[in-house]
Amino acid sequence: MLTEARLRDIYALYKKELFVYIYRFAHSHESSEDILQDCFENLIKYSLKYELVDVNIRSFLYRTAHNLVLNYRKRDRRITPVPLEEDSNISAEGYMEDALELDELNREIYRHIQSADEVSRSIFIMSKESGMSIPEIANSLGISERTARRKLAALIDGLAAHLKKKCFI
């Protein structure tokens, strides 16, 4: 269980970067704040049941934020109709097919990332979604830069092979 002081420290340490991460996907200040608070509520609930290791807290918060944003986006899907001109080459059917393919591709990427080990997942999220550099990631996770680079490259290579096998590329 996290003490109140430890929880305050964790909140102070991660609130800004988590908020920026969430805001990139939610596009709403209020919703991002709500999701951020939900992340820390989930952290508290989780800490009541399981022991948390400092290395895993950041990863846990990012994974929770990611899942909460996905849930938010599913609930908040607003489709704005775009009038298509009669002489336009754009068809609604083609647009929907592209959107479905992109959605399927995103699900496949997410599945592959989820199947990776926790450190590799954390490195990928920190690098690709948070824009952190390899030295920052290595320092944050307490691993060498070489290990961080190697794990990220292996995950990306594995993802490319997986997508090729599934005929996405």
DSSP 19-81: HHHHHHHH--HHHHHHHHHHHHHHHHHHHHHS---HHHHHHHHHHHHHHHHHHHHHHT--PPP
Does 116 lie in the same domain as 62? no
Does 36 lie in the same domain as 4? yes
- Which of 161, 155, 158, 159 is CA-nearest to residue 121? 155
Provide the domain count of the chain.
Answer: 2
d(CA 25, CA 74): 12
The CATH number assigned to the domain holding 66 equals 1.10.1740
118-158 pLDDT, tens per residue? 899 889 888 887 788 999 999 988 999 999 999 999 999 99
Does 73 lie in the same domain as 112? no
* Residue 138, token pair as written in the block: 């290595």
Domain range enclosing 118:
94-169
As a whole number of Å, the CA-based R_g of the chain is 19
- Is the residue at 56 inside a domain? yes
- Is the residue at 73 inside a domain? yes
Does 111 lie in the same domain as 51? no
DSSP state of 162: H
d(CA 167, CA 138): 33
Single out the residue in 27, 47, 77 at which a domain terminates: 77
Low-confidence ranges of the chain (pLDDT < 70): 55, 77-99, 168-169
- Is the residue at 87 inside a domain? no
Single out the residue in 28, 45, 77 at which a domain terminates: 77
Residue 51 has a pLDDT of 81
Residue 99 has a pLDDT of 66
The CATH number assigned to the domain holding 110 equals 1.10.10.10
Does 70 lie in the same domain as 7? yes
Residue 104 has a pLDDT of 80
Q: Are 138 and 147 in contact (CB under 8 A)?
A: yes
Neighbour-count burial for 28-53, b at 16+ CB within 10 Å, e otherwise: eeebbeebbebbbebbeeebeeeeee
Predicted TM-score of the model (pTM): 0.47
Q: Within the chain, what is the greatest distance between any pair of CA atoms?
A: 64
Residue 15 has a pLDDT of 92
Single out the residue in 25, 45, 77 at which a domain terminates: 77
